A and B are shown apart, each in its own frame.
Chain A
Amino acid sequence: MNSEAATAVSAEVEAPSIAKAPAPVVELQGVSVRFGRRDILQNLTCTLSGRSIGLLGPNGAGKTTLINTLLGFYKPVSGSARILGHDIHSDLKTIRSLVGYMPENDAFISKMSAVSFIRMMAELSGLPSEAALERAHEALFFVGLSEARYRKLGTYSLGMRQMAKLAQAIVHGPRLVILDEPTNGLDPVARQRMIRLIREIRSDPEMHVVVCSHLLRDVEDCCEEVLILKQGRIVHYSNLEEERRANRRFLELEIYGANGNFTEAIERLGCECATTTNRLKMVLADGVEIRDIYRLAAERDVRIRRLNFRRDTLEDIFLRAMET
């Protein structure tokens, strides 16, 4: 899907909620970024309004560049972007006060203790000294580093550093948290904890989270919307919640003892069907429930051995997007 299509899709998604008029989290209007002669981002246009947004793409797709452009680290050669309604050209300071950022790479001062490092970051965000100290302790408790908060950051393990980076991103209570590869280098337990924390941050009704990752599982676990980038272009936009709901109507049955009657009966209910030897794929029509299928099977002495909701996984969506 190209960028125009992404806009169209997002517009469709937003249409029912116009009454609530939620401010878009990220709006891109023809954003292009060029380093020397290389086009890194090309004419990105989309509107993202979800509480948790996933940025997906293979390595070198431009995910991190997009984040850095939104934070004002890189200047776009053309186009404009808005974060929470603020323009990145004219309102950068406001944006930076509303955003918390967790970078992909190591980012710490090795000789500082975690609590003084996080406190300093809070103070630089504008918190008074005492409030910053209180928030630093809270943030470190929140990410599970309470016992190690007086240790120097240089002595932390990779997983602990990731958590410390998350703590500095949320210490000033931002409205939008941008997480670049948050589960990089984490073991399964630490990864689970990171995902849980992201979900918990997201649960605040005024909070928004952007997760940038090439790990589909991470994005699938904690995001509602997904923007897939490839070679600096938007190739797919997907509202996972919408797709999950839509895919609940898609069934796959393994049956025994079927004859043509059963398929015809289902089609008479208005469902679309496709059969192979023992398998039946169908899209349930509106108003048709699964119990209706069971009833028809019982009436025609058809045994249903297996029934699955066949839904596209994020991997399916991603692989399809990569083929375009």
Chain B
Amino acid sequence: MAVYKRTYRRYTGELTPGWSRFVVLYRYSRKSLLRSRLLTGFYVLCFFFPLFCALEIYFLHNLDFVAKYGFDVARFLSIDNKFFFYFIDVQGVLAFILTAFTGPGLISPDLANGALPLYFCRPFSRVEYIAGKMSALAVLLSQITWVPGLILFAIQASVAPRHWLAENWWIVGSIVLASWIWIAILCLLSMALSAWVKWRFVASALMLGVLFFGAGFGHAINAVMRTDSGSLIDISNLIATVWTSLFRIPIELSTTASKAWTMLLIVCGICLLLLMRKVRAYEVIK
């Protein structure tokens, strides 16, 4: 019917399958995330380091070309687990900055103006809502963490001698797992904080606070109580422990990998609980 015909009529066409509805929210959320030019610019910047790493791999495998200029690259560079650990480390920091500024903007506009009842009065559940919103951020973060990590690995595997792949294939799992636990923590933390404070700038500040003040608080507990338990509330320490164990980096840390994994999963669980408590059509005031 043409738009100028203003009478009401019912919709009788086909409907999309129920499972695909969260993709709608993913599409709209991604669009709103990339609306800011500043953030889009930062997002582009996040690809500079992977590009630099790709160039590094290129130079390493073209030593003859570089040697002409009297520079022995092999002395400084080797593509191994440490290379990918530092890659994930740098990209992880960029992912955190990106999340701190974009993540809280996912849910807070819906909460600020009471739009949640409009989502949930439709055949659309709270789990689908969280999945839709989270997937927008998770895909964005994936594009700057494990996806370029795997591309770098593939480049290295294609140009390195065969024994390199046989010796280092486990790094693929480390890249994916290390990225995913960090992405899960960032997404859930930013969404849970923004759901509770409802104001995106405060949520961003809280996000920074949880990481930096958490670390400071953990150190203070360790110093005062003469224990290592304070490190368990320091998310940056926990993630460093998990990453070093995943990439088999021989560094002594105050927490064991199993404890760090457990604590990170607990943090994810708490964030999910907080989200499920706040993300509902109406709050019941008892």
A124 touches B119 (CB 8 A): yes
Q: Please determine whether A125 and B7 come into contact, CB atoms closer than 8 angstroms.
A: no
16 more CB-based (< 8 A) A-B contacts, given A138-B1, A141-B4, A173-B9: A38-B286, A96-B121, A96-B123, A96-B124, A103-B118, A107-B117, A108-B113, A109-B109, A109-B110, A121-B118, A124-B119, A126-B123, A128-B14, A135-B11, A142-B8, A207-B8
Q: Is A287 an interface residue (CB 8 A)?
A: no
What is the interface residue range for chain B against chain A? 35 or more
Whether, in the assembled complex, A172 has its beta carbon less than 8 Å from a beta carbon of chain B, the answer is yes
From B6, B10, B24, B113, give the contact of A106 (CB < 8 A).
B113
In the complex, what residues of B have CB within 8 A of residue A174's CB? Answer: 10
Cβ of B13 and Cβ of A131 under 8 Å apart? yes
Known: A107-B117, A121-B118, A124-B119. A141 touches B281 (CB 8 A): no
CA distance A38 to B4 in the complex (A): 50
A78 to B6, CA, bound (A): 43
Residues A175 and B16 in contact, CB atoms below 8 Å apart: no
- Cα–Cα distance between A170 and B122 once the two chains are bound (Å): 12
Closest to B23 in A: A123
List the B side residues contacting A101 at CB < 8 Å: 117-118, 121
Q: Does B3 contact A (CB under 8 A)?
A: yes
Which residues on the B side are within 8 Å of A146 (C-beta)? 3
Q: Does A36 contact B (CB under 8 A)?
A: yes
Q: How far is the CB of A91 from chain B (nearest CB, A)?
A: 11
B14 x A107 contact (CB < 8 A): no
**Contact of A138 with B3 in the complex, beta carbons under 8 Å:** yes
List the interface of chain B (C-beta within 8 A of A): 1, 3-16, 18, 21, 24-25, 28, 32, 109-110, 112-124, 280-282, 284-286
Instruction: Kindly provide the distance from the CB of A182 to the nearest chain B CB, expressed in whole angstroms.
Output: 15
Q: Give bound CA distance, A108 to B112, whole Å.
A: 9
B interface majority secondary structure? loop
Complex Cα distance, B14 from A150, in Å, reads 27
Specify which of B28, B113, B117, B285 is in contact with A73 (CB 8 Å cutoff). B117
With contacts A123-B24, A126-B21 taken as known, whether A137 is within 8 angstroms of B15 at the C-beta atoms is no
Asked whether A93 lies within 8 Å of B123 as measured between CB atoms, the reply is: yes
Does A263 touch B at the CB level, under 8 Å?
A: no
| Nearest opposing residue in chain A for B119, CB measure | A124
Q: Least Cβ distance of A208 to chain B in Å?
A: 12
- In the complex, the answer to whether A111 meets B109 with C-beta atoms within 8 Å is yes
Which residue from chain A places its CB closest to the CB of B124 in the assembled complex?
Answer: A124
* Most chain A CB within a 10 A radius of its CB, from B8, B114, B121: B121
Which residues in window 125-156 of A have CB below 8 A to B? Answer: 125-128, 131, 134-135, 137-138, 141-142, 146
The digit string for A97-113, where 1 denotes a CB below 8 A from any CB of B, is 10111010111111110
Q: CB-nearest residue of chain B relative to A170? A: B8
User: CA separation between A123 and B122, bound complex, in Å?
Assistant: 10
Of A183-191, A198-206, A249-257, the one with at least 4 CB within 8 A of chain B: A198-206
State whether A105 touches B114 (Cβ < 8 A): yes
Chain B residue numbers with a CB within 8 Å of A128 are: 13-16
What are 23 A-B pairs at a CB distance below 8 A? A36-B286, A71-B121, A73-B120, A96-B122, A97-B123, A101-B117, A105-B114, A108-B114, A108-B115, A110-B109, A116-B28, A120-B24, A120-B25, A123-B16, A127-B11, A135-B11, A141-B4, A142-B8, A168-B118, A173-B10, A173-B12, A204-B10, A207-B8
Contact of B8 among A93, A134, A204 (CB under 8 A): A204
Q: How far is the CA of A141 from the CA of B4 in the complex (A)?
A: 7
Contacts of A68 in B (CB 8 A): 281-282
| CB pair A142 B7 closer than 8 Å | yes
Q: What's the nearest-Cβ distance from chain B to residue A215, in Å?
A: 21
- The reply on A309 being an interface residue by CB < 8 A is no
A135 to B281, CA, bound (A): 25
Residue A294 CB within 8 A of the other chain? no
Chain A residues, Cβ within 8 Å of B122: 96-97, 121, 124-125, 172
A170 to B8, CA, bound (A): 8
Contacts of A125 in B (CB 8 A): 122-123
Chain A residues with CB under 8 A of B285: 35
